[in-house]
């Protein structure tokens, strides 16, 4: 849900383990209200079609290597500044620290941006270049449970004996102060060596990613006219597989509608209104828990896999030729990877026993309706005999392009009303549409060309099955939007979060200085596009 | 659920407040799969048909009054002995204390009875009388939160300034050491004045009432042959309304089937088996939360008020003539009392807008299926996007005579299988059948006659809508079973639990010594029956 949290299929590369044999199919595919997903081309996208970036930036790499100790110290300085947005702990101080860094690096325009919540930071570096690149940053981090950590989470410890090598272990090391400050190290080295950057930069940072980015659209809106003129937006964040150094790129995200449905006793429909009552009164009394259950059950087929809300699938368009080519290009990898994914999740088979083609097309091109939680009454051990006065469920629906959260919400409301469940309240907690970036965008080609320079295995997918509000870049601003998935860190929301600084010999993971060199290549590759 | 916890309609007398106007009917009564409850007689049971008990026990009353201080001290001694069954705190010591009291009073046979859990106590007083009475006792109490109490909960404090008068305030004061030890005070006074009791007594005490009486059937089974020869079983417990001193008698209890239904990821039906997964995978993955929701929804009509399990209503018999007469006798009181009940529960109307006759007949003669709780996934504030790997619900079904828990369980299993939900696990947590005692039983007539002696308003109901396993008396032993609802105490499972010792002037509540006199009358009234 977080703004930049879900790396979608890309994160799957982190799973390892032998492939499982395909399980016997337990269920025949039922007649389905889900739209059939049709393919009209067998052409497949190939990384071989993208020319490798060939620029020579060895002078910059050398500067980065020479200043490695100072660069590491910069990362440590950032992770040492607490910035837990959920607890309002150090958040403003972090914004001020970032703003001071931007000024020191040479950004001519730096502003701490007030919002309805925590402040953001806008920074503009005018290189007098033809192209401008928008850089997304998040300055906040998740809360910590210090007692679960091997090292103090805000000490910025360098741990030498991590299984993957020498790492920075701290809250924010990989999510995402580490890669962000590494990107700034790159900027400093380029300016030191070349005098100025090859592109103009607009950093648009927020301090509420871990809260679901509720005010990020405010920050974007303030600078929208200037941001729209950019060549695209990037997000520096590590995502290499520790097994083979492979990376992935998702050219879009699903949107989301997140709602709570609640049934409660009320004067019209009956039921207790203030508190649970003794369950013997079910003999005479309407029960909100049954109302909610019955209402929920109307939303899907008995197997829970087809949405029965009229019109819910109507907006789903067939995959475009580009999406099909990307799909065809990624299918072979998915055929193997899905077994690893299922093993990691302890899932014996996908629903209806779907094979790779069907499961990948559902994952990329279909909408979902999922129960995140249901709560009513007593859930402790043993027995309690009560008739609860309220019952609620949390549901999320992943949206594909052309579905909008408000239209889907209206369809759900209309359906419940038509089925006699006008008493069920629907509360929208979040909603935003899908995003999409074309693989032919110059920024995308520049990033893929840079991956090709290093001979990296890249899985390019038309989108992630996960959601993030990258529509603010692709729809609000009309920009191509790309995450830079180089380097490796993990345990983003867990204890002992880390970013690899120096991987063990033989590893395919990029070191910190290689990450920084890669970022330089991307900026020059973008500058070189027409 | 506890063995003697639910006093059913009787507890409603404690509600006060003005009657509400009848609400407008929000829903028309739908075509229903519930059996119509038919009445064939308009005859009504009346207390006036029961001769008042006329025996003269003033010598016993005098002895009770004279020994009042010692009698209060006996109650204090019992409540001072901790006996929290849930925490195994003082339970055996309480059983030993009770056994010692029984021996001292003159019970010739006293045995602490080991069970699979906490011990019970069996005690036999042979008066050489024609009639034998079984007395149920519970020796355990609920846990306490001492900081919430005005007085230490195990000090046996006499509180002078309670709104209802002078009270014993302690854990167990009313539930149920107070009334039990008061009954023993009566026995001591009778023996002191008259030399022996008018009936033989068999006390069958347990120490696990607050745990749901899991081993009480073991204790009953050990003495079943002797217990079966008794004239009935009684339970001394206070239940007078503080408003007007009215009492109630329920001549039976509903049984219960309590189950957990669980859906979880498994190899056959799919879904994640070990942990929740990211909700984006709903696109390819079976969801236990949907399976449970869909399975639950097949159990009832959309309004949740009709059970759709084939055969579930088949065993329900029409009310007997006696049950109808009792129903007709209690209906007028219910017409007013239901408004007070609904007000207390914040319920605007019963389901389908039922009026008094329909609601009371459903409450007494119909079975139920209630959701006590559902739990799956995330139930905290805001959003979490997960596909839970398990989902479960707790359900209880109140059973009327001729329904058995195992048959109802089998019908539920068969129905879920037939609907394609063989993957839903059903776990039975508890089950026992309904109990029924005839109003014409000599013991019942003796108790009602004693109420008439004192001119008490008595609501005699064919049964309670609540459950307790009194079938061990009525079915296992074939005995009439009656609760003595004289005196008043409250806050049984809460802080500041109390039993009124001396009510304020003008109150209709019986004092402790009046309770003890009443118990003496009941024993002599029973002895006098043919």
A250-296 pLDDT per residue, tens: 999 999 999 999 999 999 888 999 999 999 999 999 999 999 999 99
| Dist. CA B136–CA B237, nearest whole Å | 10
**Which of B279, B285, B379 minimises the CB distance to A347?**
B285
Indicate the SS3 state at residue A468: coil
Smallest Cα distance from B8 to chain A, Å:
8
- Choose between A385 and A173: higher pLDDT: A173
User: What residues have CB less than 8 Å from A131, skipping those under 6 apart?
Assistant: A199, A200, A230, A231, A526, A527, A529
| Dist. CA A459–CA A481, nearest whole Å | 16
Q: What is the mean pLDDT of residues A63-74?
A: 98
| Dist. CA B28–CA B49, nearest whole Å | 40
Asked whether residue B194 is domain-assigned, the answer is yes
User: What residues have CB less than 8 Å from A33, skipping those under 6 apart?
Assistant: A301, A306, A307, A308, A313
The pLDDT tens digits of the residues spanning B134-189 come to 999 999 999 999 999 999 999 999 999 999 999 999 999 999 999 999 999 999 99
CB–CB contact B398 A302 (8 Å): no
**Which CATH number belongs to the domain containing residue B371 in this structure?**
3.30.70.360
In this predicted structure, the answer to whether residue A27 has a pLDDT above a threshold of 80 is no
**Which CATH number belongs to the domain containing residue B58 in this structure?**
3.40.630.10
Residues B209 and B176 in one domain: yes
DSSP state of A270: B
Q: Where are the beta strands (DSSP E) in A346-471?
A: 370-377, 386-387, 390-399, 425-432, 435-436, 458-461, 464-467
**pLDDT value at residue B32:** 53
**pLDDT value at residue B141:** 94
Nearest chain B residue to A305 by CA distance is: B286
In this predicted structure, the answer to whether residue B31 has a pLDDT above a threshold of 50 is no
**pLDDT value at residue A451:** 97
Alpha-helical (H) ranges within A264-365 are 288-297, 321-345, 356-365
| Dist. CA A410–CA A257, nearest whole Å | 11
Nearest chain A residue to B398 by CA distance is: A280
In this predicted structure, the answer to whether residue B251 has a pLDDT above a threshold of 60 is yes
| Dist. CA B484–CA B458, nearest whole Å | 12
Q: Give CA angle at A273 (A268, A278), nearest 5°.
A: 120
The pLDDT tens digits of the residues spanning B461-472 come to 999 998 888 999
Q: What is the mean pLDDT of residues A227-247?
A: 92
Residues B323 and B462: beta-carbon distance below 8 Å: yes
**pLDDT value at residue B384:** 87
**pLDDT value at residue A34:** 84
Residue with tokens 């029409």: B318
Q: pLDDT band at residue A32, thresholds of 50, 70 and 90?
A: low
Question: Of A7-11, A225-229, A384-388, A480-484, which range is least confident?
Answer: A7-11
| Dist. CA B511–CA A408, nearest whole Å | 66
Q: Which residues of A touch B22 (CB under 8 A)?
A: none
Asked whether residue A332 is domain-assigned, the answer is yes
- Start-to-end CA distance of chain A, whole Å, equals 35
| Dist. CA A424–CA A426, nearest whole Å | 6
Residues B107 and B241 in one domain: yes
Residues A97 and A151 in one domain: yes
Asked whether residue A518 is domain-assigned, the answer is yes
Q: pLDDT band at residue B212, thresholds of 50, 70 and 90?
A: confident
Question: Of A383-387, A520-524, B16-20, B86-90, which range is least confident?
Answer: B16-20
Q: pLDDT band at residue A381, thresholds of 50, 70 and 90?
A: confident
Residue after which a domain boundary falls, among A408, A436, A464: A436
**pLDDT value at residue A202:** 98
In this predicted structure, the answer to whether residue B3 has a pLDDT above a threshold of 50 is no
The pLDDT tens digits of the residues spanning A123-145 come to 999 999 999 999 999 999 999 99
Residues B113 and B245 in one domain: yes
Residues A387 and A349 in one domain: no
Domain, as residue range, for B378: 8-43+253-432
Residues A388 and A507 in one domain: no
Residues B94 and B233 in one domain: yes
**pLDDT value at residue B24:** 33
CB–CB contact A351 B303 (8 Å): no
Residue after which a domain boundary falls, among A436, A463, A492: A436
Residues A185 and A326 in one domain: no
Residue A131 tokens, joined: 């192209």
Asked whether residue A25 is domain-assigned, the answer is no
Residue after which a domain boundary falls, among A383, A405, A436: A436
CB–CB contact B26 A270 (8 Å): yes
| Dist. CA B114–CA B314, nearest whole Å | 40
Residues A169 and A99 in one domain: yes
Asked whether residue B1 is domain-assigned, the answer is no
Q: pLDDT band at residue A427, thresholds of 50, 70 and 90?
A: very high
Indicate the SS3 state at residue B149: coil
Residue B424 tokens, joined: 């839903």
Asked whether residue B386 is domain-assigned, the answer is yes
- Choose between A198 and B9: higher pLDDT: A198
| Dist. CA B422–CA B416, nearest whole Å | 6
Residue B97 tokens, joined: 């204390």
The pLDDT tens digits of the residues spanning B181-211 come to 999 999 999 999 999 999 999 999 999 988 8
Nearest chain A residue to B295 by CA distance is: A302
Domain count, chain A: 3
Nearest chain B residue to A370 by CA distance is: B282
The string of DSSP letters for A180-192 reads HHHHHHHHHHHHH
Q: What is the mean pLDDT of residues B390-405?
A: 97
Residues B300 and B347 in one domain: yes
The pLDDT tens digits of the residues spanning A331-348 come to 999 999 999 999 999 999
pLDDT above 90: percentage of residues in chain A? 86
- Measured in residues, chain A has a length of 530
| Dist. CA A145–CA A151, nearest whole Å | 11
Asked whether residue A449 is domain-assigned, the answer is no
In this predicted structure, the answer to whether residue B29 has a pLDDT above a threshold of 70 is no
In this predicted structure, the answer to whether residue A198 has a pLDDT above a threshold of 50 is yes
Smallest Cα distance from A430 to chain B, Å:
8
Q: pLDDT band at residue A407, thresholds of 50, 70 and 90?
A: very high
- Choose between A14 and B347: higher pLDDT: B347
**pLDDT value at residue A14:** 29
Residues B398 and B254: beta-carbon distance below 8 Å: yes
Smallest Cα distance from A88 to chain B, Å:
17
Q: What is the pTM of this model?
A: 0.87
Q: What is the mean pLDDT of residues A144-156?
A: 94
Residues B189 and B268 in one domain: no
Asked whether residue B293 is domain-assigned, the answer is yes
| Dist. CA B80–CA A31, nearest whole Å | 69
CB–CB contact A293 B384 (8 Å): no
The pLDDT tens digits of the residues spanning B485-497 come to 999 999 988 899 9
Residues B54 and B38 in one domain: no
């Amino acid at each position: 849900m977080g703004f930049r949290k879900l790396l979608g299929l890309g994160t799957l590369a982190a799973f390892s383990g032998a492939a499982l044999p395909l399980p016997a199919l337990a269920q025949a595919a039922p007649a389905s209200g889900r739209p059939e997903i049709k393919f009209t081309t067998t052409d497949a996208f190939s990384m071989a079609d993208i020319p490798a970036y060939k620029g020579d930036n060895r002078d910059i790499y050398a500067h980065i290597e020479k200043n490695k100790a100072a660069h590491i110290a910069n990362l440590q300085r950032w992770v040492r500044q607490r910035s837990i947005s959920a607890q309002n702990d150090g958040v403003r101080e972090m914004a001020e620290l970032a703003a001071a860094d931007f000024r020191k690096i040479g950004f001519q325009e730096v502003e701490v941006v007030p919002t309805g919540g925590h402040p953001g930071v806008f920074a503009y570096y005018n290189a007098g270049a033809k192209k401008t690149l928008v850089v997304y940053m998040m300055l906040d981090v998740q809360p910590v449970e210090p007692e679960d950590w091997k090292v103090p989470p805000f000490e910025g410890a360098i741990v030498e004996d991590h299984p993957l090598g020498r790492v920075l272990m701290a809250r924010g090391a990989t999510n995402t102060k580490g890669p962000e400050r590494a990107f700034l190290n790159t900027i400093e080295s380029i300016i030191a060596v070349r005098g100025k950057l090859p592109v103009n930069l607009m950093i648009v940072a927020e301090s509420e990613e871990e809260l679901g980015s509720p005010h990020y659209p405010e920050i974007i809106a303030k600078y929208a006219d200037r941001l729209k003129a950019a060549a695209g937006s990037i997000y520096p964040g590590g995502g290499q597989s520790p097994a083979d150094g492979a990376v992935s790129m998702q050219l879009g995200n699903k949107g989301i509608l997140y709602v709570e449905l609640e049934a409660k006793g009320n004067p019209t429909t009956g039921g207790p209104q203030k508190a649970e009552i003794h369950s013997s009164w079910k003999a005479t009394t309407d029960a909100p828990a049954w109302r909610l259950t019955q209402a929920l059950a109307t939303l899907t087929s008995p197997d829970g896999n087809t949405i029965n809300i009229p019109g819910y699938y109507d907006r789903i368009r067939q995959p475009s030729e580009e999406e099909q080519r990307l799909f065809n290009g990624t299918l072979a990898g998915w055929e193997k990877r899905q077994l690893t994914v299922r093993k990691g999740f302890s899932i014996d088979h996908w629903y209806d026993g779907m094979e790779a083609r069907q499961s990948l097309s559902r994952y990329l091109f279909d909408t979902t309706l999922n129960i995140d939680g249901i709560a009513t009454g007593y859930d402790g051990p043993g027995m309690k005999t009560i008739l609860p006065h309220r019952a609620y469920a949390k549901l999320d629906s992943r949206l594909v392009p052309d579905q909008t959260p408000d239209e889907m919400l209206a369809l759900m409301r209309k359906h419940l009303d038509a089925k006699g469940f006008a008493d069920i309240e629907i509360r929208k907690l979040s909603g935003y549409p899908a995003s999409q970036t074309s693989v032919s965008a110059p920024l995308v080609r520049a990033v893929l060309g840079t991956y090709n320079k290093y001979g990296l295995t890249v899985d390019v997918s038309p989108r992630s099955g996960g959601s993030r509000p990258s529509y603010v870049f692709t729809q609000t601003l009309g920009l191509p939007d790309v995450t830079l998935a180089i380097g490796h860190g993990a345990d983003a929301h867990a204890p002992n979060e880390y970013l690899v600084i120096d991987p063990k010999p033989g590893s395919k993971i990029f070191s910190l200085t290689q990450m920084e060199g890669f970022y330089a290549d991307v900026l020059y590759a973008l500058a070189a596009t027409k």
